[in-house]
Structure 1
Amino acid sequence: MDLDLSEEQRLLKDGVDRLMREHYSFEDRRKYRTERLGFSEAMWARYARLGLLGLPFPEADGGLGAGAVETMIVMEAFGKGLILEPYFATVVLAGGILRHGANEAQKANLIPAITEGRMKLAFAYTEPQSRYDLFDVETRAKKDGNGWVLNGTKGLVLHGDVADKIIVSARTAGSTRERDGIGLFLVDANAPGLMRRGYPTQDGLRAAEISLKNVRIAAADVIGDPACAFPIISRVADEAVAALCAEAVGCFAEMHSVTVNYLKTRKQFGTTIGSFQVLQHRAVDMFVELEQSRSMSMFATMMAGESNVIERERALSAAKAQIGQSSKALGRQAIQLHGGIGMTMEYSIGHYFKHVTMIDMLLGDTDHHLQRLASLGGLFGEQAIQR
């Protein structure tokens, strides 16, 4: 299997890495957080000009027709920069729903607006009782003439407070934990009956709690079959997990680099602390975690488009579990090797640790994915064990 990047992919990587170096230092990020929306609108416009917002969408829909590898490249660079903009929420999550579930009219109306930076989307799938089970949906959608009426509550909607439109999962039939009977509905953020409360997350991003009370949805705003949306949600979630793994690897790489540089410059007992062998060993342990995570991120990227659902879920759960374990191991080493300064808000390393911790919790933590992997017979399945 050829794991080398193509010429176009190398150019993309060089360009996004340069963008982060020139416009997303830690001081830049602190400044962007104070802006009106909690992120840089100028950087969002720059992403649009560079084509990053249209990267995964088909050319026929106004995108660039790139694949999972290009998304991995961008997300890894964004992890290094620790970006605040709603790229994951708009392009990966909500954009994934549009790519796999929207009809031609919906794509023609929404995707060009996304790629040009004129529209931000959010995906509201989490509820207070659901934890990591995407099929656990209490929000109800009731048929009303040619349209629908939504009632319910959604939580931790990433960048839901700044989104122009929100894709909401709601139950059209069945009981709360059935996989059938779930639909996807496109809701205007200013629709009557929709209330949202925005707040900052622990890692500096934004999220919102959303309540829907008799929110009316036109038939044209139903995405796909209103009773069979769960396979789309599951597929998009797996693709999003691959993107999160790549973002975490970018964070890990920067955490390792910053820590090694600190060991080379911090002096104690008349010499740099990096000259102490025991600290060198701990830096090597960080590097091992980084490379293990990078390998699993690449594996997740290759398997994100797998048509066999079981094989895809096995691969993505294995990768997410590795990322979660490495985020704890590598993050603790980085904080401890920095000493007291690692805990301060003025220094970058603690912010990276917070973000990778949040990545671990998003779309299923380590324990959740280990349990899912075990229920699927492990990474290679029961047949491989029997052989």
Structure 2
Amino acid sequence: MDELRETAKPVDETELAIEGALRPTSLAEFVGQQKVRGQLQLLLDAARIQQRPADHILLSGPPGLGKTTLAMIVAHESNRPLRLSSGPAIQHAGDLAALLSSLTPGEVLFIDEVHRMARAAEEMLYLAMEDFRIDIMVGKGAGATSIPLDLAPFTLVGATTRSGLLPNPLRDRFGFTAHLEYYEPEELERVLKRSAAMLGVSVPAEPRAEIARRSRGTPRIANRLLRRVRDYLVVHGPSSGSGAAEADAETVDAALSLYDVDSIGLDRLDRAVLDMLVRRFRGGPVGLGTLAVAVGEEPETIESVVEPYLVRIGFMGRTPRGRIATPEAYAHLGVPRVESALRFDDL
């Protein structure tokens, strides 16, 4: 058993190093989001020339498009340390005060899901972002006093998947706001080409394009599917165990089908929602809660994980009366179209 542990240890460490290396470390290496990259480059260059911390940055957009990676790049290209936190972890003003007071001059603070911070912490952050100062209340009642505490200048990089939930006073204090868009298949192919080289797996152009088509416009999903293809090659490839085999289109299809990812990137839950909507509810309209109960998931999961992609590719419509399936959904499932209570033309 000890021998097995010794053998596995360097493999695990190598794998972790490879996973970390998949994240680009500079804007030049970052694929896609060309407009945002240009804007960030100008922001960072100006701050470097003027020898000051960069303005606060807000990155918004769906999950998996590179917000965390861009925050790491901001710190790396600014030659500053990076502190990572998240909105759900900051539930009291004291949590934020402790975090801010420990920052070193010029440090980059990344807060993921910044819209989920507690209201008291948000209000403290207003002053910190603007004047690099916070007021700490000592005592209670009539005897309470406010003690000002100066902070080291820092750069806040906030990330959010729901920018509409950010209060205006907080949003206005960011010097630069960027919205990340879904990737085109050609951009995902470039991401996959770089990742495949780092993972040590050969993926020619045709199977690489197939993985990109199933990645829902999201680099995180593309890299995840690539790793599953790599695993399939390790187990079932002609040189099983070496991971050096080449992936062809048939291998990609077999690997992704094993994990219930179909030809356009729908997974088990996506198809379950569509199938229930089309077959059980005759195309809708049906309420979100009813649909969630029917497939055995939470409404929040359906709304935040499943719906965005189905709506984006035109398979589902959201109406005041509920969710409905479009003709494209019927065609993809191979189900004859039926008349629903709401005409598709009403979308």
TM-score after normalising by structure 1: 0.31
TM-score after normalising by structure 2: 0.33
